[in-house]
């Protein structure tokens, strides 16, 4: 469990990453209109404000969508005094009981199959992926064969990941608490403590970081943010006590300033890599704030700003003698101490391996 001073999580000052391309406006409207129609066909009576919040748009946009439904033959009524479909819109006639299907493009089908295959191993809802894939094929219509072909074309694996099959109930309760903004009573087993500890937690986010699943929440007793590894949660109860997310909490800054799952005060890290490993360093984004500088002798210098001394040092150790920490001085000393300790271990003869270990 890592600590995160809430008062430090204010607005980011780093350059923003290039945002992902959004679907064209017309496509977003079609999906939104069909979504509203499905809600009304199911008999729900959401308000216009509810629909605006659900689809993350303005009230005026929802009114335009409702007019589109009227124009294509779905008569609507409402509960406002003017006789329109304001307030809580509803379908007036049951003439059409089904909504037009929402077709998936090949790119969208590929994206979904890719996401399913990337998250399949050891994830808690693996058993639900097979029927979900069958439904994806059905939704793909004429391109259903494309989804099937993609399923056989995409694969992969990871190492050092945790198995979350036994934690589906815990994960669903955490998600329920996050969505409903209700406080949790959590019994948590920290690796550093002999017995579990009970916390009152306001859960803010569920994070998937480096093959691990974590709950980020505000702990009432300490008045600070902490991260809890989901697989170390022994019990969790969702109470009826509501909570409000602290207005100073900025999840984007949390993501930008953390190197891994732990959030600490960010520091400027400069690491130089030898010429042999430079191509592999250039190929990846190691942190959203990184910059690369080419050195005359073929080496490359990586600079980024993040917190998490332990996680950063562990990552640098993975490069062996191909990496040199330039700064900060504290990290350079820590890295030197780790290498010295490792060298001491390897100076001695290797231990004898017996059947009992």
User: Can you give the residue ranges of every domain in the chain?
Assistant: 25-91, 106-153, 164-256, 264-347
Measure the CA–CA gap between 65 and 23, rounded to whole angstroms.
17
β-pairing, 267-273 vs 291-294, is unpaired
Architecture of domain 25-91: Orthogonal Bundle (1.10)
Q: Which residues contact 317 (CB under 8 A, 6 or more apart)?
A: 335, 338
Q: Is the pLDDT of residue 140 over 80?
A: no
- Taking residues 101-119, what's their average pLDDT? 70
Question: pTM for this one?
Answer: 0.66
What pLDDT, on the 0 to 100 scale, is given for residue 121? 58
Give pLDDT tens digits for 203-241. 999 998 888 899 999 998 888 899 999 999 999 999 999
**Using 50, 70 and 90 to split pLDDT, how confident is the model at 19?**
very low
Instruction: Identify the DSSP state of 151.
Output: H
Answer yes or no: is pLDDT of 272 > 90. yes
Q: Across the chain, what does the average pLDDT equal? A: 82
Residue 9 has what pLDDT?
43
Question: Average pLDDT for residues 26-38, to the nearest whole number?
Answer: 82
Statement: residue 85 has pLDDT above 80: no
List 267's β-bridge partners, or say none.
306
Among 47-51, 143-147, 150-154, 209-213, which stretch is predicted with the lowest mean pLDDT? 143-147
CATH architecture of 164-256: Roll (2.30)
Q: How far apart are CA 48 and CA 58, in angstroms?
A: 9
E-strand stretches of the chain: 2-4, 76-77, 90-91, 182-188, 197-209, 212-219, 224-229, 233-242, 267-273, 291-294, 300-306, 323-327
Check residue 294 and give its pLDDT. 97
């Amino acid at each position: 469990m890592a600590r995160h001073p809430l008062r430090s999580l204010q607005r980011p000052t780093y350059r923003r990453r290039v945002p992902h391309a959004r679907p064209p406006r017309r496509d977003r409207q079609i999906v939104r209109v069909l979504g509203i129609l499905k809600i009304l066909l199911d008999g729900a009576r959401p308000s216009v404000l509810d629909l605006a919040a659900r689809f993350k748009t303005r009230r005026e946009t929802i009114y335009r969508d409702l007019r589109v439904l009227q124009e294509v033959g779905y008569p609507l009524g409402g509960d406002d005094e003017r006789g329109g479909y304001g307030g809580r819109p509803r379908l007036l006639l049951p003439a059409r009981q089904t909504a037009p299907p929402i077709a998936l493009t090949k790119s969208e089908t590929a994206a979904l199959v890719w996401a399913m295959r990337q998250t399949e191993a050891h994830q808690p809802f693996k058993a639900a992926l097979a029927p979900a894939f069958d439904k994806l094929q059905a939704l793909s219509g004429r391109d259903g064969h494309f989804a099937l072909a993609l399923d056989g074309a995409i694969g992969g694996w990871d190492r050092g990941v945790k198995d979350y099959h036994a934690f589906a109930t815990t994960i669903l309760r955490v998600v329920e608490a996050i969505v409903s903004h209700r406080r949790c009573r959590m019994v948590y087993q920290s690796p550093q403590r002999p017995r579990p500890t009970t916390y009152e937690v306001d859960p803010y986010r569920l994070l998937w970081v480096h093959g691990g699943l974590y709950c980020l929440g505000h702990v009432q007793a300490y008045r600070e943010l902490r991260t809890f590894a989901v697989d170390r949660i022994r019990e969790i109860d969702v109470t009826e006590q509501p909570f409000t997310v602290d207005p100073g909490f900025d999840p984007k800054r949390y993501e930008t300033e953390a190197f891994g799952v732990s959030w600490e005060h960010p520091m400027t890290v400069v690491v130089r890599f030898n010429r042999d490993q430079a191509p592999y360093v250039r190929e990846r984004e190691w942190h959203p704030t990184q910059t690369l500088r080419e050195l005359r002798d073929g080496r490359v210098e990586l600079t980024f700003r993040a917190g998490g001394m332990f996680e950063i040092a562990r990552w640098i150790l993975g490069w062996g003698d191909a990496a040199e920490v330039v700064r900060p001085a504290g990290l350079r000393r820590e890295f030197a101490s780790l290498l010295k300790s490792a060298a001491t271990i390897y100076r001695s003869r290797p231990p004898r391996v017996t059947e009992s270990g």
